[in-house]
Structure 1
């Protein structure tokens, strides 16, 4: 399959964005209408929010869509120490004196790329407000320290993701931020689809993949009973990849699923029992 550019106008990717271009198709198995929904929002320049649990495929979906649309993808992993300057840029001192350096958000807006803010809820609210002027009909980014207003390139889009399961009074998006986005909900795939993904990504047979999915289902049943979240699809892929290196499946599950997901000895014992039953 060749990438398809759905833009109204042909575009040439600037040299500065070449390293952000996805050349090979990232494997993604659609589970609903998310591809069509994203493309519709993209054509209308509507910001998109991806909501779903950890490791369910949100980031892979964005990578796939960037490839499918033939657009560069600038990804920012958000965290609580991230400042507005980390996004928009700052003056730095070099051999020629003080020089302005665009941040990832400014670069994407100025040159034309998809800017993906991964787990945006992890960033402070006073940081995320800098995207507001880019997510309404103004599509501008004021650089106050530089006394410049960047008008977003026609190909600029902004996508954010977050895990609703981690919402709290202290860690959530402002309503003024949420309501600027359309949203696509994600969840773990159904059993057959998830087994297909694990088999494809890890290069294992369907029997191992299906058994790992059964382990995941049992862990997800423990959500709210000792676990904040169950095993993600990503964890299953890691366990399957370890088996390809000759690690016994029970040990691979303990290393990739049981130990990372919890420190509670009782929950670990329950998960270890689930692994024994499934294999």
Structure 2
């Protein structure tokens, strides 16, 4: 690892870049958005690489990355901050969004639709020409520091009508759609991330695509790249390929015995015999 100096700050150790293999123009679009300080909306299925993409771009751009996992109990105070009692005194403690705004970091709000709508409204002034965050409890407004960028993500195929991004939020963002990569790229990703040979990775990718192409399958999610990597990691630890596929893919996708049985038969048909 090398070293670099960020502005006038202290010398820091440069970490290895997160591995990400682009399948389209997503990196070019993100760079352009970052250059103009524009917020980005990433949409795509679970486990397709949205988080890794953000990590790779933050590293490339030299930005600190602050990640927030969206959930239904999240409040605006969880994002912005709150007053806490410390040592007998009441002090203000910044939330992760406020820290990112102050520091000029890249703030990634993952699965944004899981948060309540009244919470999401907090990001609106940051996602338009104002680029500011209202700190109502402090009675002030905080302008975003240079370098700040807001990135949110969600899975449009998984969300219900009641859980979706409002147009008032969506239209503030540049959208980048990510999907599962072509077979040759996904094979490279699985081989590298799991530490297995390309042939075995290709077998797992063929199974993944077979499941994704099933017609009328009662699955809420399909086999993701993440799941294929987990199966490969089991193989790297000495587990047989079919056992790894059943544990990391088949059993994870459904609890219905009939569906699990059908997926197991598909895995046996696609994967090579021991």
Question: Shorter chain as normaliser: what TM range?
Answer: over 0.9
- What are the within-5 Å matches in structure 2 for residues 45-60 of structure 1? 45-60=37-52
Q: Does the alignment pair 1:147 with 2:139? A: yes
TM-score, normalization: structure 2? 0.93
Given the superposition, is the C-alpha separation of residues 108 and 118 from structure 1 closer, same or farther in structure 2, using an over 3 Å criterion?
Answer: same
Partner residue of 1:204 out of 196, 209, 220: 196
Offset at residue 167 of structure 1 (A) = 2.5
5+ residue gaps in structure 1? none
TM-score, normalization: structure 1? 0.92
**Which residue matches 1:38?**
30
Given the superposition, is the C-alpha separation of residues 22 and 227 from structure 1 closer, same or farther in structure 2, using an over 3 Å criterion?
Answer: farther
| Deviations 1:178-200 (CA, angstroms, capped at 9, x unpaired) | 00001011000011111110001
| Deviations 1:51-107 (CA, angstroms, capped at 9, x unpaired) | 100000110000000000011000001000110000000000011410000000000
Aligned residues of 2:101 and 2:145 also touching (Cα < 8 A): yes
Q: Does the alignment pair 1:123 with 2:109? A: no
Moved more, 107-116 or 261-270: 261-270
| Deviations 1:1-60 (CA, angstroms, capped at 9, x unpaired) | 98999xxxx745699xx9xx9822000001011111100011011100011000001100
Give secondary structure in 2 for the equivalent of 1:166.
coil
Q: Does the alignment pair 1:72 with 2:90? A: no
5+ residue gaps in structure 2? none
Given the superposition, is the C-alpha separation of residues 214 and 74 from structure 1 closer, same or farther in structure 2, using an over 3 Å criterion?
Answer: same
| Cα distance in 1 between the residues matched to 2:156 and 2:99 | 29
Give secondary structure in 2 for the equivalent of 1:170.
coil
**Which residue matches 1:168?**
160
